[in-house]
Chain A
């Protein structure tokens, strides 16, 4: 080991991505609230403690990396779990009421959100539970325990009326899937929700494209043609996204009898029927291909029936509730307004953005919660499509890195914990960004490492760095 420090074994790319996000977040929070007299270190009230939070986060990260022994995480996981659950319960009674939800505990000048920390303890508890010898999620005894472990904090958080934070726990279902739960059910459920929402929020056309992309990917991945699948998907989707524009061209619009989604459906259904027919003729016993093709037909017809279900089956009040939740209904004071303003902010950024500190939408208070839940608006407005892609890229890298490292790890506890971290981050990122670009109903949860807010920043830091430490320990011991 001489000359080569043991510290090289830390997952530096992951740590660097973290630091990059942290700095980027700092810049953006500052940008959305800056005034003539402020500076990065001297931010206006009540954001003046943001630099302190960032330093605290870095300090906590180093503590976890270098000082705290990693054995305590598995050993004390249930203690932590029960402790935070207790704190959540206490919060429902004595919590400070902010915007209608009682999720803050105030000590002196500090306010913390136990719900943020509960993700860490739940992850540790799940990892302990599921890494036990003989645990198999297919047995009722076991899956009931696993679901109970995520169910308790969900219930307590629901009592605090923090519905958004509660939904994040559904992300753990992905972990359960990885650990043996059947996937078809998850997939079908997820797809119907996704297509339903996409149809209403975006358009049947967008839903059609997403569906098509998913099925092409699944199809090709099944036959071990990953690269080919990804390339074909990207090309198809990009080509098709210009379809509405083409159909609107002067010489086509007069003779075109169908909407774009109908064209896509007609073409793809023809192909699918051909493939099915070929399968049948060649007497191949390829159950997978048949299943996936039939499922595609089912979902295509589902897309076309959403409109009918929505307008003819649902009752008026149910419909309007869904519309308001999804932000479709013009509700200038409510959710619709937020999404509208958020979209204008992001959309006005264009390809390369307006430039740092040049955003008007976010800074002029047009966008609500512009430092916390809607921080992505500042990113989109000032850094444009490129900046947004960069952020997405870093997140994507982090997620893949965590999943890969977790998978390679020989220790079950570390692997499962790694998946927990990935699930938490994934749900936060996807829900938060989708919400700001009008693909999901407004659910108030922060964007990891970027949003302003001490509790979420520290909590995500701890969550991530425990994994980095666990991962490091493994490699350390291997070499020794």
Chain B
């Protein structure tokens, strides 16, 4: 290397270069650059956070289920506070003196809080804010931040909508982009669609002088960030139908699910008792009451309570019988107040005998389905009872029973369809036969399904053989219907057998004497229905009802489940039929208004045994 400068001098040069570089940069930062050359007094920056408006939640017709209203948070920079009239402040915000004292003790304990803007009082109404704004010059260091809070124009869908609340430490640890004092959805749609609804926070940077007076935007707002509003979520709920359903279900325990069969869109999902929207708005105030309420209003029964389906399950067994060839619509069986073999007896109410399949559905005959079920399970086509049972189970599960349907509703339950293993364990391997499990014939026994499963069954029959996964939000984040909600899920039963079942269900309403749902016939609407009465070891039977209407091109399929309501025809059927009528006609015909009145006024709460 032909370098003649001594290494010592090279090192000295390096030092010189390093120091010169620093000097040039310092010269730049301190003298040339305007950006940092701020007057000695006004150089402190204040970040003012702009909270975005949360997305609204709309109903299927564009009606507003959840809206925003302006609300104010009062913040304070403790180190800037000068002695002030505590009493005047208390009067302004209607708070106690002790509250103010406590707050300031808290600030003085935590040194790091002193120089920052910290929360003093949350969610102050605009009225209070206006009073404060007039007198803010008296309260040095206090400031107000605009936020939006939720408002609910109609009392519709409390449980479905869910609530938002202030994030806690645990939430902050697991979610990015939030900071203390932010709100996030905790249940229902607010939680499930948090990403879309929340929007993006922004901030304005201001210069402030030593007295904390805001002077001007820093760098003309070049570094400000605009808040991005949340995206509206369009639900499939019909808010009027939802509100009406809630009204009908008042003072009853149970749920109603209504689906538009062709699209799988949930029109209404009532869980009663539920949360009132006025409680949602001030969830902190009501939380402890709600959580200790013995009727569990926070619990979404429509997807979280799995119960035996009762007689409505006969539809499924009938369809399987037809598919398996052990039954034709004309097959007749006798019934003399029940079905008995040896010690085993399944009771039935009195009706004509013998009857065919249409009549069996119309009159809901237990004996008929005992025959059908035994024929399915004892079918010689299968090597053993267990194999036949496996085949039956596969049919049942193809209707969506025993699985999560894959909806967008949080905390959906799968329910239960017993398996061969269940009975092997109960009775011993190969030691059980069709008679041992005969209660499955009429939807009792080890079956567990949610009201959503029943509504889905009803929609499947209405569609004559397929269902679309039920969902309660119309579009995905891209603003189109999710591809998952366009797939037709066909059951393992050939669609050609469905019209016979539909006919049986039609006769239950319109078939004349003996029809179990005759009493809820709606003038001018051809409806198909099936009643159910789910036996309940803990008290009165549960009242179950599914129906869809009109018979051709059905627009609505409903399942209603009224706990401890007795016969399906007594409570579930009127409620479901009223909702059908309301949805299809917009009003209740005069000769059915007594029924509506009766439903609204009845109180079944005392029948429900609550566990504490």
Instruction: List residues of A whose CB falls within 8 A of some B CB.
Output: 174, 177-178, 182-184, 202, 206, 209-210, 213-214, 217-218, 221-222, 224, 226, 230, 233-234, 237, 241, 245, 287-288, 332, 343-344, 346-351, 354, 358, 360-361, 364-366, 380, 384-385, 388-389, 392, 395-396, 399-400, 403, 407, 422, 426, 430, 433-434, 437-439
How far, in angstroms, from A233 to B19 measured CA to CA in the complex?
A: 13
Encoded as 1 (CB less than 8 Å from any A CB) or 0, chain B from 251 to 291 comes to 00000000000000000000000000000000000000000
What residues of A have a CB within 8 angstroms of the CB of B20 in the complex?
Answer: 213, 233-234, 237
What residues of B have a CB within 8 angstroms of the CB of A389 in the complex?
Answer: 23, 26
At the interface with chain A, which of B29-37, B426-434, B541-549? B29-37
In the complex, are the beta carbons of B30 and A344 less than 8 A apart?
Answer: no
In the complex, are the beta carbons of B22 and A437 less than 8 A apart?
Answer: yes
> For the complex, would chain B's binding face be called helix, strand, loop or mixed by DSSP majority?
helix
Q: List 24 A-B contacts (CB under 8 A).
A: A177-B7, A178-B11, A183-B1, A183-B10, A213-B17, A222-B3, A230-B16, A241-B27, A287-B2, A343-B36, A347-B35, A348-B39, A351-B31, A360-B40, A360-B43, A380-B26, A380-B30, A384-B30, A392-B22, A396-B15, A396-B16, A403-B8, A430-B22, A434-B22
Max count, chain A CB within 10 A of own CB: residue among B12, B22, B38: B22
Kindly state whether residue B94 has any CB partner on chain A within 8 Å. Answer: no
Closest 9 CB pairs of A and B: A347-B36, A348-B43, A385-B30, A354-B40, A288-B2, A347-B29, A221-B5, A365-B115, A430-B18
Give 9 new A-B contacts, CB below 8 A, not counting A350-B40, A380-B30.
A183-B7, A202-B25, A217-B13, A218-B13, A343-B36, A346-B30, A348-B40, A360-B44, A385-B27
Which B-chain residue is minimally distant from A386 (CB atoms)? B30
In the complex, are the beta carbons of A351 and B30 less than 8 A apart?
Answer: yes
What residues of B have a CB within 8 angstroms of the CB of A430 in the complex?
Answer: 18, 22
User: Which residue in B9, B26, B47 is a CB contact (below 8 Å) of A388?
Assistant: B26
Query: Distance (Å) between the CB of A186 and the closest chain B CB?
Result: 10
Which A-chain residue is minimally distant from B218 (CB atoms)? A344
What residues of A have a CB within 8 angstroms of the CB of B43 in the complex?
Answer: 344, 348, 360-361
What residues of B have a CB within 8 angstroms of the CB of A210 in the complex?
Answer: 17, 21
What residues of B have a CB within 8 angstroms of the CB of A388 in the complex?
Answer: 26, 30
Known A-B contacts A221-B5, A348-B37, A361-B44; the reply to A343 vs B22 at CB < 8 A is no
Kindly state whether residue B45 has any CB partner on chain A within 8 Å. Answer: yes
Query: Distance (Å) between the CB of A429 and the closest chain B CB?
Result: 8
How far, in angstroms, from A433 to B79 measured CA to CA in the complex?
A: 30
In the complex, are the beta carbons of A437 and B7 less than 8 A apart?
Answer: no
How far, in angstroms, from A380 to B4 measured CA to CA in the complex?
A: 39
Known A-B contacts A241-B32, A385-B31; the reply to A183 vs B8 at CB < 8 A is no
User: Which residue in B9, B15, B210 is a CB contact (below 8 Å) of A221?
Assistant: B9
In the complex, are the beta carbons of B26 and A437 less than 8 A apart?
Answer: yes
How far, in angstroms, from A321 to B514 measured CA to CA in the complex?
A: 76
In the complex, are the beta carbons of B8 and A178 less than 8 A apart?
Answer: yes
Kindly state whether residue B480 has any CB partner on chain A within 8 Å. Answer: no
Query: Distance (Å) between the CB of A334 and the closest chain B CB?
Result: 13
What residues of B have a CB within 8 angstroms of the CB of A218 in the complex?
Answer: 13
What residues of B have a CB within 8 angstroms of the CB of A237 in the complex?
Answer: 20, 24
In the complex, are the beta carbons of B7 and A209 less than 8 A apart?
Answer: no
What residues of B have a CB within 8 angstroms of the CB of A422 in the complex?
Answer: 11
Kindly state whether residue B14 has any CB partner on chain A within 8 Å. Answer: yes
Query: Distance (Å) between the CB of A174 and the closest chain B CB?
Result: 6
What residues of A have a CB within 8 angstroms of the CB of B350 in the complex?
Answer: none
User: Which residue in B11, B21, B32, B35 is a CB contact (below 8 Å) of A403?
Assistant: B11
What residues of B have a CB within 8 angstroms of the CB of A213 in the complex?
Answer: 17, 20-21
Which B-chain residue is minimally distant from A355 (CB atoms)? B40
In the complex, are the beta carbons of A241 and B28 less than 8 A apart?
Answer: yes
In the complex, are the beta carbons of A346 and B26 less than 8 A apart?
Answer: yes
In the complex, are the beta carbons of A348 and B38 less than 8 A apart?
Answer: yes
In the complex, are the beta carbons of A182 and B1 less than 8 A apart?
Answer: yes
In the complex, are the beta carbons of B19 and A396 less than 8 A apart?
Answer: yes
In the complex, are the beta carbons of B36 and A358 less than 8 A apart?
Answer: no
What residues of B have a CB within 8 angstroms of the CB of A202 in the complex?
Answer: 25
How far, in angstroms, from A349 to B9 measured CA to CA in the complex?
A: 34
Max count, chain A CB within 10 A of own CB: residue among B8, B28, B29, B41: B29
Query: Distance (Å) between the CB of B163 and the closest chain A CB?
Result: 29
What residues of A have a CB within 8 angstroms of the CB of B45 in the complex?
Answer: 344, 366
In the complex, are the beta carbons of A433 and B31 less than 8 A apart?
Answer: no
Encoded as 1 (CB less than 8 Å from any A CB) or 0, chain B from 179 to 193 comes to 000000000000000
How far, in angstroms, from A433 to B25 measured CA to CA in the complex?
A: 10
Query: Distance (Å) between the CB of A390 and the closest chain B CB?
Result: 12
In the complex, are the beta carbons of A344 and B3 less than 8 A apart?
Answer: no
Query: Distance (Å) between the CB of B490 and the closest chain A CB?
Result: 44
What residues of A have a CB within 8 angstroms of the CB of B13 in the complex?
Answer: 217-218, 221
Encoded as 1 (CB less than 8 Å from any A CB) or 0, chain B from 498 to 534 comes to 0000000000000000000000000000000000000
Query: Distance (Å) between the CB of A171 and the closest chain B CB?
Result: 11
In the complex, are the beta carbons of B25 and A439 less than 8 A apart?
Answer: yes
How far, in angstroms, from A426 to B11 measured CA to CA in the complex?
A: 11
Known A-B contacts A221-B9, A426-B15; the reply to A344 vs B36 at CB < 8 A is yes
Known A-B contacts A241-B28, A343-B36, A344-B43; the reply to A222 vs B5 at CB < 8 A is yes
